[in-house]
Amino acid sequence: MTKIKISQALLLLSFSLLIGCKKDEKVTVLTENYKGVYVINEGGFQKSNGSIGLYKPGTGEYFDAFQKANDLPLGDVVQSMIATNQFFYIVVNNSNKIEVVNKETFKKAFTIPLNSPRYLFPLSATKAYVSHLFSNEVSIIDLNTNIKSGTININHWSEHFAKLDKKVLVGTNSSQLMVINSETDLLADSIMIGKGLSKILNISETKVAVLSTGDLDWSSGNVLENGKLSFINKDSNKVEKSISLSTGSYGGSMTFNATNQTIYLSLGGTKIYQYTETGGLVEYLTLNTGESVYGLAVNPSNGDLYITDAGDFNSNGKVYIYDVNKNRIKVIEAGIVPNGILFNE
């Protein structure tokens, strides 16, 4: 073995000390700011690759928020996400759970186990309803404890919610909306809408818009019944106005811009329509060939229209952002099967 000379050893030692005595660099630990635009990526069915993406309009950055904050994948079929109190409630349909995460840190705070949940609808700071696939019940959640506190039998699988004073309207897998009295938590009534009940949303405290997609012959693809846009107001338990769409489909999406009181809707494909009280239903926007609408949302701060495109449902989808002048201003590379947007800017 070669011997190390004393002079060489001293030189090495001096060098090490020199490095060791170098002034400490200021270490700053960056904490992630979970503000921005959330993209709800459903993921492929039975692929467990659903995610919540966070897009930051300022920097253009996009990342998987849940994975980053918790170092865990989220689950299978991330159906919806909603903000209430100091939490986000992420409904993971085919993982049978709702992940409750802190709004500031996105850290997991609770997990609510539920059978095939679809949407969570907060009624107050302490109470929410949850709809279910594969169950005829709507669950009641105590938001203080994040525990299921009861159930309401509505005789159908359930989807979206809307509220007209004390009445909660629930979309179902049939042609009718079910009406729950939110004070008694009992089924109160039902409202016949039409085939292909798809989306319902409050366009004011006293009015609800309902999108139904109609009926198709599965063997030929022929439209048997056109879709329609229906309206229900607070005082009547029936459809007060209905506008027939020009075609039918198997799915649709709808959003509302409160600033200009405009409903945007689509039956999939490339076409997006707008509806206003004064202008009626008109074609609003056509996407490029090969693109298609899977979800719609309006940014309440500036009126930008966000359109999610699930692409081939197997690789990453996209989100197209259009300004109020219908100019495409940005395309976000999202996760797999993006179905919705939540703004938290």
- What are the residues binding another protein (CB under 8 A)? 46-49, 72-76, 94-97, 115-116, 134, 216, 218-219, 221, 249-251, 267-270, 289-290, 292, 310-316, 336
Order of strands across the sheet that contains 262-266: 253-257, 262-266, 271-276, 280-286
Q: Give the shortest CB-198-to-another protein separation in angstroms.
A: 10
Comparing CB distances to another protein, the nearer of 137 and 304 is 137
Closest distance to another protein from the beta carbon of 77 (Å):
8
**CB nearer another protein, residue 7 or residue 220:** 220
Q: Closest approach of Cβ 250 to another protein, in Å?
A: 4
For CA atoms 151, 154, 157, 158, give the dihedral sign: negative
Q: Smallest distance from the beta carbon of 108 to another protein, in angstroms? A: 8
Contacts 24+ apart (CB under 8 A), 297-301: 297/255, 297/340, 297/341, 297/342, 297/343, 298/255, 298/256, 298/257, 298/264, 299/37, 299/343, 299/345, 300/258, 300/259, 300/343, 301/343, 301/345
In the bound state with another protein, the residue whose beta carbon lies nearer, of 24 and 312, is 312
Residue nearer to another protein on the CB measure, 236 or 314 = 314
CB of 62 to another protein, least distance (A): 13
In degrees rounded to 5, what are phi and psi of residue 235? -90, -15
In this complex, which beta carbon is closest to another protein, that of residue 107 or of residue 166? 107
Could you please report the per-residue DSSP string of 200-225?
Answer: EEEEETTEEEEEE--EE-TTT--EEE
